[in-house]
């Protein structure tokens, strides 16, 4: 069988690998990771391939693949923090990340404080002696505030805390946070990296070997590993990431401009629009691309939002993002449901806000669907 050289990595759908003898077992424990395998919770060729490919894109020291974006965040937090430590988090963050920090980590004795966007580059008043890290997103979910990663990295280094960046919305095609000074990057692989709405996975990419080994240990010990088949599917999706992102971005810009001039649309949030407060930063940090997600607000009435969703013929209401097919979601009722009414209002996530994950379809088809649906509200 040694003459067989598959162009695509086969699926190693096994939970355990066999050894020839005790010598082979000892070699396993003395060799670097990925040289040989014992148990899929510890490592598998399919998940290793995915980790290596994402690490190459993000230019890190190595990557660890996990079972979801949430377990990627958990792996980093558990790798860096222990009971008694303090964590900072950008106030504008995915609701699931906020729930993990506020509802679960606090039960383990890790304290959490939230930093509003206006205070993110001057952390002095939020820092404590026991503060270990700051978690933030390259582009915030759902209102697309763009973070100056380089500036924030300078600030976190000054206070000797780790900067952990969730780069899910931007992807390494637009922004590579490690090159801008971040210590750790995480992705929900479920989104753009796999790209086809058929995988649930996460990944952690570290700048330093020491952090990587800690994350690897947490993944193995807590059982946060990804299955071989999902690793294989995600690695397959990753092959078209660059092509897909270009189309997502160009479609999103065209649709943002269309929505901006529509009389029934009250506001559009998209970094590619010239009036976005961080447009220049987004242009520089995103290599002239602005991502495939935008949000917009129609009338702040549930019934109006419902009518709009029901009228759409080709754009489903599906509370996730980044698939090749477009979808809309409703932040106030899904991703940010756990936020208090007061916090949602303060952030601008009102009843009429709709998040649009723009797919790679022909933009004319998407605009025609939006046109007829908006006509009915």
Instruction: For the chain, give the secondary structure using H, E and C.
Output: CCCCCCCCCCCCCCCECCCCCHHHHHHHHHCCCCCCCCECCCCCHHHHHHHHHHHHHHCCCEEEEECCHHHHHHHHHHHHCCCCCEEEEECCCCHHHHHHHHHHHHHHCCEEEEECHHHCCCCCCCCCCCEEEEEEECECCCCCCECCHHHHHHHHHHCCCEEEEECCCCHHHHCCHHHHCCCEEEEECCCCCCCCCCCCCEEEEECCHHHHHHHHHHHHHHCCCCCHHHHHHHHHHHCCHHHHHHHHHHHHHHHHHHHHCCCCCCEEECCCCCCCCCHHHHHHHCCCCCCCEEEEECCCCHHHHHHHHHHCCCCCECCCCCCCCCEEECCCCCCCCCCCHHHHHHHCCCCCEEEEECCCCCHHHHHHHHHHHHHCC
Q: Which of 41, 217, 246, 283 is catalytic?
A: 41
Residues 161-187 pLDDT 10s: 999 999 999 999 999 999 999 999 999
pLDDT of 113 reads 97
Determine the distance from the C-alpha atom of residue 357 to the mean position of all C-alpha atoms in its chain, rounded to a whole number.
Answer: 13
41 given a catalytic annotation: yes
Q: Which of 12, 37, 94, 270 is catalytic?
A: 94
User: Which fold would CATH assign to domain 241-375?
Assistant: 3.90.1150
pLDDT of 265 reads 97
The maximal CA–CA distance of the chain, rounded, in angstroms, is 73
pLDDT of 88 reads 98
The two tokens of residue 19 are 């050894």
Residues 89-143 pLDDT 10s: 999 888 889 999 999 999 999 999 999 999 999 999 999 999 999 999 999 988 9
| Domain residue ranges of the chain, discontinuous segments joined by + | 22-238, 241-375
Q: For the CA atoms of the chain, what is the radius of gyration?
A: 21
Mean pLDDT computed over 46-52: 98
191 given a catalytic annotation: yes
Mean pLDDT computed over 60-82: 98
Query: Residue 36: pLDDT band by 50, 70, 90 thresholds?
Result: confident
Say if CB 187 and CB 168 are below 8 A apart: yes
Q: Which of 191, 214, 244, 297 is catalytic?
A: 191
pLDDT of 319 reads 86
Residues 249-272 pLDDT 10s: 999 999 999 999 999 999 999 999
Confidence check: pLDDT of 153 > 80: yes
Q: Which of 48, 85, 148, 166 is catalytic?
A: 166
pLDDT of 33 reads 73
Confidence check: pLDDT of 1 > 60: no
Place of tokens 């100056």: 148
CATH number of 22-238: 3.40.640.10
Between CA 229 and CA 36 the distance in angstroms is 19
Dihedral sign from CA coordinates of 77, 79, 81, 82: positive
The reported pTM is 0.95
pLDDT of 331 reads 87
Residues 201-240 pLDDT 10s: 999 999 999 999 999 999 999 999 999 999 999 999 999 9
The two tokens of residue 183 are 């210590």
């Amino acid at each position: 069988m040694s003459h067989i050289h598959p162009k695509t990595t086969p699926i190693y759908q096994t939970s355990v690998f066999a050894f020839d003898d005790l010598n082979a077992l000892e070699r396993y424990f003395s060799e670097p990771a990925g040289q040989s395998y014992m148990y899929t919770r510890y490592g598998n060729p399919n998940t290793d391939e995915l980790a290596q490919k994402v690490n190459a894109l993000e230019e890190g020291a190595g990557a660890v693949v996990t079972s979801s974006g949430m377990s990627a965040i958990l792996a980093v937090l558990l790798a860096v923090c222990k009971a008694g430590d303090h964590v900072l988090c950008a106030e504008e963050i995915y609701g699931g990340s906020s729930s993990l920090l506020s509802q679960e980590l606090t039960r383990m004795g890790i304290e959490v404080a939230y930093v509003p966007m206006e205070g993110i580059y001057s952390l002095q008043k939020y820092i404590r002696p026991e503060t270990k890290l700051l978690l933030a997103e390259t582009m915030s979910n759902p209102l697309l505030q763009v973070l100056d990663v380089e500036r924030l990295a300078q600030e976190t280094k000054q206070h000797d805390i780790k900067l952990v960046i969730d780069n899910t919305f931007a992807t390494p095609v637009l922004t590579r946070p490690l090159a801008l000074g971040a210590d750790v990057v995480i992705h929900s692989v479920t989104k753009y990296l796999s790209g086809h709405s058929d995988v649930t996975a996460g990944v952690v990419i570290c700048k330093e070997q020491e952090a990587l080994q800690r994350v690897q240990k947490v993944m193995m010990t807590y059982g946060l590993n990804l299955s071989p088949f999902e690793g294989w599917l995600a690695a397959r999706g990753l092959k078209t990431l660059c092509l897909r992102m270009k189309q997502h971005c160009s479609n999103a810009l065209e649709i943002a401009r269309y929505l901006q001039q529509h009389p029934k649309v009250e506001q559009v949030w998209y970094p590619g629009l010239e009036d976005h407060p961080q447009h220049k930063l987004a242009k520089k940090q995103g290599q002239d691309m602005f991502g495939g997600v935008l949000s917009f607000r129609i009338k702040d009435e549930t019934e109006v939002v419902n009518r709009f969703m029901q009228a759409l013929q080709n754009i489903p209401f599906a509370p996730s993002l980044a698939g090749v097919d477009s979808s809309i979601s409703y932040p106030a009722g899904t991703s940010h449901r756990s936020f208090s009414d007061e916090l949602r209002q303060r952030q601008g996530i009102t009843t009429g806000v709709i998040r649009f994950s723009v797919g790679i379809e022909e933009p004319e088809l998407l605009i025609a669907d939006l046109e007829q649906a908006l006509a009915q509200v």
